Structure 1
């Protein structure tokens, strides 16, 4: 590929990835308006959950389809499905339709991230990928902050339906660029698709999601429903592992986990996803109900968190490109995330707005370091033939981590909120306020008596403290695992196809856990032909 076409093609890939990141968040600020028009308050959470679950269960499938049938074609197909789901979601007439069409969106979104990462891994040499991965990493905090802001603006000035329609012109541009500018050497594996593994993985993820969402809230932890979901999840995971070991082309090849660094990077991705998704979803609760910020302003108050992530990702991208070393960064990231989470325990109802906002920067830097390191380790620890499956696995685990983190730590938040309100206002008033929590807004809170407002602010703060303690524990686990990563300078060229665990130059893997790689005849760009 010519340099100009390469850069333009990479822009198209990143635009598709940005759509997937943005769409998980842009609908959040529009949900109250959607419920007011379509009804179905009891189904509200599934507008988000349907999208996340569909994206999670299809992510490894899209990666495998790309390995088997061509990465460019599968990426284009995923964009088309995503845009169809977006158009249908915008035309929804009731909550059931919206949830179903959000699931269609998720089916396509599952291929956007994994497809882009797999194509980039083939086009760009590992040593140079550090800088590019850092640019991609910048999009994530921008999407997390920009998504709610954009959703609020579109809802206020146009309609909630435009939170879905906005994907159409952006997706069309991405399609045009990728179809005309990306050129890949045809690389396809002939094998049967692992439908049994895909079905078992889907059952396991759905069961875990329902368990995390219902346990301790809709049903008691010891209820038959929760115990049954636990049995289904455990049995599905065990059966999935058994099937994958015997499948001709498994959805998630077990050979990937023979590499120590790959396995550790998946653990880090899962834990970082739990910390990031939970913190970015519950910090706005504190900003709005305690600090009195509007939804738009609360998004702006998270800018230090975003810039912490952005700075960390850009910095280590350049450093890794310069010297090829990476082991220090996940260790440093885990430590910063622990410190950043614990520092949020300083938040009180009387904390100044500027101070509350500034306290988020350390946690943001820690998340940026861990997530960037996990992605880079994943893509440099897998053979070229498994790039799609590898990128699918790391994104899958990040999504599952985020979903489970929100569900489990969200239950801690609600429990602390209810307990504090019961202690300060009595069970009757506490029950009324907690039941109204799904509809509670800062404006509604300001209409309540001073004593109730103060009690609610204190309860929200205590609930957030429970969440950040949980995040600190998760971060400490990530910090501990990061120490087991093995250091080896990254190769300067792209990998050629080779058996798992065997470098392209024929040498064995050795003690480092990261295979060396080389390219016959020069860099990856020199060997690309039109697809």
Structure 2
């Protein structure tokens, strides 16, 4: 017997879900990697404290993820939440890309919270979309491509952001702080930056370091913007219709 081919509708859902999930995961991983570096290098906090400074993003994800799951069940459609997720993560990442040496606590808390709300709203929706268009027997197999896109986004774009950060930092130090060896700054790491750099050059180095971090965060911003592509081409499929068909 010939295996059933996926419908055009299913293919569109998988393509858009995969693109959205890859961009969302990629932006999240970039921020998860570089926000602690910002707090350690620019704000001068210890590594353990920098993890605590990232709690606004984490804490905002959990309740919204639960609420959005209930809301999808009640409304029957996941697409509005995917679009809302793109809006919020783009706004949040855009605000995070405005970080300076003097960004206040209420700003970095609020900016992370906005991004976390978007992440919580959208993280699980691609999986809901896949489950809506697949038969019960095909769901385990259908999840594999989405997991692949999720892993790909997390792995590839952190490396891209790292290259952007390294190149931007090296070029900035060479052009703006001639008395500092870029290799020394790069090898020192964020936690040891202030103790490694001569106090005479520290302020100038921090300015360049912040600019390099912002450039890395802009990679996350680009991914957040690209998530709109997957969000807007996502078909409007009713999870209630799928549930009704299951019981007939």
Of 170, 178, 182, which residue of structure 2 is paired with 1:430?
182
Identify unmatched segments of 5+ residues in structure 2: none
| Correspondence list, 1:490-529, <5 A | 490-491=239-240, 517-519=245-247
Confirm or deny that 1:446 pairs with 2:174. Answer: no
User: How far apart, CA to CA, are the structure 2 residues paired with 1:377 and 1:465?
Assistant: 33
Q: Residues 100-149 of structure 1: CA distance to partner in whole angstroms, max 9, x if unpaired? A: xxxxxxxxxxxxxxxxxxxxxxxxxxxxxxxxxxxxxxxxxxxxxxxxxx
Return 262-271 or 462-471, whichever deviates more: 462-471
* Shift in Å, 1:486: 2.1
User: How far apart, CA to CA, are the structure 2 residues paired with 1:404 and 1:422?
Assistant: 28
* Shift in Å, 1:464: 2.0
Query: Residue 19 of structure 2 aligns with which residue?
Result: 267
Query: Residue 291 of structure 1 aligns with which residue?
Result: 43
Which structure has more relative contact order (CA 8 Å, sep 6+)? It is 2
Query: Residue 380 of structure 1 aligns with which residue?
Result: 132
- Paired residues of 1:262 and 1:382 also in contact (CA < 8 A): no
Query: Residue 473 of structure 1 aligns with which residue?
Result: 222
Query: Residue 485 of structure 1 aligns with which residue?
Result: 234
Q: Residues 466-523 of structure 1: CA distance to partner in whole angstroms, max 9, x if unpaired? A: 12222222212211331222223213776xxxxxxxxxxxxxxxxxxxxx73136xxx
Query: Residue 6 of structure 2 aligns with which residue?
Result: 255
Of 170, 173, 176, which residue of structure 2 is paired with 1:418?
170
Confirm or deny that 1:300 pairs with 2:52. Answer: yes
User: How far apart, CA to CA, are the structure 2 residues paired with 1:455 and 1:378?
Assistant: 50
- Paired residues of 2:73 and 2:240 also in contact (CA < 8 A): no
Q: Residues 373-417 of structure 1: CA distance to partner in whole angstroms, max 9, x if unpaired? A: 112112222222221122222111111011111011211111111
Identify unmatched segments of 5+ residues in structure 1: 1-247, 495-515, 521-531
Q: 1:398 to 1:330 in 2, by over 3 A?
A: same
User: How far apart, CA to CA, are the structure 2 residues paired with 1:442 and 1:342?
Assistant: 25
Q: 1:305 to 1:329 in 2, by over 3 A?
A: same
TM-score by length of 2: 0.88
Q: 1:269 to 1:449 in 2, by over 3 A?
A: same
Higher helix share: 2
Query: Residue 341 of structure 1 aligns with which residue?
Result: 93
- Paired residues of 2:90 and 2:115 also in contact (CA < 8 A): yes
* Shift in Å, 1:354: 4.2
- Paired residues of 2:132 and 2:242 also in contact (CA < 8 A): no
Q: 1:293 to 1:392 in 2, by over 3 A?
A: same
Structure exhibiting the larger radius of gyration computed from Cα positions: 1
Q: Residues 47-95 of structure 1: CA distance to partner in whole angstroms, max 9, x if unpaired? A: xxxxxxxxxxxxxxxxxxxxxxxxxxxxxxxxxxxxxxxxxxxxxxxxx
- Paired residues of 1:269 and 1:375 also in contact (CA < 8 A): no
Query: Residue 160 of structure 2 aligns with which residue?
Result: 408
User: How far apart, CA to CA, are the structure 1 residues paired with 2:206 and 2:118?
Assistant: 28
User: How far apart, CA to CA, are the structure 1 residues paired with 2:7 and 2:198?
Assistant: 59
Q: 1:425 to 1:291 in 2, by over 3 A?
A: same
- Paired residues of 1:256 and 1:390 also in contact (CA < 8 A): no
